[in-house]
Amino acid sequence: MNAAVKPRILIGKPGLDGHDRGAKYVAQILRDAGFEVIYTGIRRSPEQIVDTAVQEDVAAIGLSLLSGAHLALFTRVLELLHDRGADDIVVFGGGTIPPKDIPRLKEMGVAEVFTPGTPARQIVAAIDDCLLHHSVM
């Protein structure tokens, strides 16, 4: 165990919307907070995202969604993680997600949802907290 190694985090956008300002901004915040961020870009399938997460051995996946398809896409990502024996990867999300859907997402297993306007420090603190007990090899 080496305390100097910060966890790796995947940031990506599943689905069809191409507005990546939010995803890139969160990637930048996390980079500046000392994380190693694997950025996958826009319009990725849940399969591409999960396969990437497994190959990169990330501790967390952050998905940005502005399309309204968050319930379907998060469900699929969580299913695929389960199929690949990677349930321990923390999944969080952000974007234009209606507050009424947040409890449902959390119930499904999404650790945190950051809606527009969430301060950067709050995002970093929440992710640090989620990953506190995640062992880095």
Partner 1 sequence: MDARLEQLIKDARSDGSCALRAAARLMSIMTNQPQRLGELLAGSRDWPQPRLVLGVTGAPGSGKSTITDHLAAEFRDHFPERKLGIVAVDPSSPFTGGALLGDRVRMMRHASDPHVFIRSLASRGHLGGLALGARGVVRVMGLIGCDTVIVETVGVGQSEVEIAQNADLVVVVLAPGQGDSVQMLKAGLLEAADLFVVNKSDREGADLLHQQLLSMLQRQRLARLDLASTPGEPMTCGGPMLTGPQGIVDERATPAVRVALDNETPPVFRCSAIKHEGVAELMMELKGLTDRHAVDWQNRRKGQTIEEIRLAVLEEVRRRVSDRLAPGRKGYEELERATEGNRSMAALVDELLYEAAAAGRGLQSSGC
Among 13, 44, 70, 76, binds partner 1 (CB under 8 A): 44
User: Among all chains, which residue has been given the structure tokens 């996390």?
Assistant: 30
Q: Which is nearer to partner 1, 24 or 96 (CB)?
A: 24
18 is an interface residue for partner 1 by CB under 8 A: no
- 10 Å Cβ neighbour count for 132? 7
Strands, E, within the chain: which ranges?
8-14, 36-44, 60-65, 90-95, 112-114
CA 50, CA 70: separation in Å to the nearest integer? 16
- The interface region with partner 1, picked from 40-48, 70-78, 97-105, 125-133 by CB under 8 A, is 40-48
6 is an interface residue for partner 1 by CB under 8 A: yes
41 is an interface residue for partner 1 by CB under 8 A: yes
User: Among all chains, which residue has been given the structure tokens 């859907």?
Assistant: 101
- 10 Å Cβ neighbour count for 17? 17
13 is an interface residue for partner 1 by CB under 8 A: no
Contact between 14 and 66 (Cβ < 8 Å): no
Q: Which is nearer to partner 1, 38 or 77 (CB)?
A: 38
The footprint of partner 1 (CB under 8 A) covers: 1-2, 4-6, 27-28, 30-41, 44-45, 47-48, 51-52, 54-57, 83-86, 136-137
